[in-house]
Structure 1
């Protein structure tokens, strides 16, 4: 068979044809990649950096107080030498106050039930970050947050009740150190501070808190120890919020506020920023401009954690600033109650509060 012969004109024609086909293949590959990106769950949009329209992707936040979560061997060790009063922040001890329920002792079955619940946060609710309270550091947290999570940024506190985070695998983050000034009396809990997607347009600065218990309603200026301690904590959180607003960084404050914020939000903070009368309006005062907070549970009916839940108001909540709210106008509130099959297990008197924020 004779070899094919190509003229200069024929060479140019084939070269042009090859280039057209190459461009078509590139366009097809690009459209396939973006189609796959669009098909992914929203929580995984970080793989591509942003939504297809170029705006920053959203975030789903949760908070969960797991009620004295520690390893079984830690519980055994500390319970054997418990103290009669609530230990201070520097004390590695458990309380055994007469007349009060001692910290719970959990079995392997209890921990497995909690781990199933944590897995639902990831697989069903697409949560990116969980603020944790009453968890004795990463080792204790890993009993519950097993596959698909990283546990980190726990406050440096000897007391077993610590604040920290569980972050979904694949979400970039940076620990920013403890908000130590939140421990106003040596027995209160410091705040845990983390940045998600640091250094990107999607960055969110998050503060996890577990505020002083015992002053659930009423003005903070009463001669009552818990209210006095909470009154001291409020300006500390306000200073953190105001600094983030000045920096132009979107923010969230979440955790166990030990306060009925739905009722608190109805009343003014008063004229003295150093000694506020109430919590929400002290933080959401537009000073500086942009210091305006939205609350996850605002207008939401109370959803019990299980059949034995005796509460009727939230004390766990998620607050976001106007910057984060404006870039995520599609917001979905959720509560994740415990499953009926776990009735009777030693889990927690709190269950997760969830807020999904999407553009």
Structure 2
């Protein structure tokens, strides 16, 4: 079959990117070397592998903030991921960075998230002696858990962006913000923030936790009142502030960030959400905590109930149980907990 050197043509187009952009042909490579695709660059191939994997599909039934919401319009981990990808692509395109790389990182960044959002993450972190962090689990998913233990064999740059997207609760661009190994990874990191501080407002209003008028006036004055106004302000500001990443700023060192005024407003809004929304949502999630604890202790005692593919791995029972629970959707975890409580045999998780 003739492919007319499609990949090479795409790689040649990347030569017009910013000098600070990552060229796919110059990737640091994969954990296991493989022949390049004749039609896609390395980062396009990574993107496709992520989209087609099982963990990506399960994101549609995983909570963003609110536990198993009844409404159809609440944000899920999947819709959040798609919003992050859209924002990251817009920023990367404007800064002449590698849009394919930014997209692949964005689509894979939350693959390791637990059921019940950060509530599930907190419980597993407290139960598992080695600790649990969803960004590390996302890397574990793409490196090991997908494709029956073979992993997706992604490039170093995508794996680095997935691992380093988490913010550890720090202020945006604050002291403990951390850094990814590429500017495209930094774009995903800031796109993640832009996405969730905006869509979580809509969910909180929908849930009756806050009113639009409750938003901090000083943040609204800078960022805007509507969802679209805030997104536009934040994305535009990131592009303007980070313009050195294009290579058109006279040798200025490139960095992805926000102007002081917009950054302060974004952090005010983020702190408001932690105080008025996330704390309330987590306080109301005790049942979710009980579900994760129940499943963890039950499966530790009954390791034979883990799916068959887990028996082929050399990991400890605790590690296998953590991987299994982290991969569950909200509804699956709730159903399994109900079956365990009733003492019935649960079906194999797919």
For the criterion TM > 0.5, the same-fold answer is: no
Q: Calculate the TM-score normalised by the size of structure 1.
A: 0.26
Which is strand-richer, 1 or 2? 1
Higher Rg = 1
Q: Calculate the TM-score normalised by the size of structure 2.
A: 0.27
- Bigger relative CO (Cα 8 Å, ≥ 6 apart): 2
Which is helix-richer, 1 or 2? 2
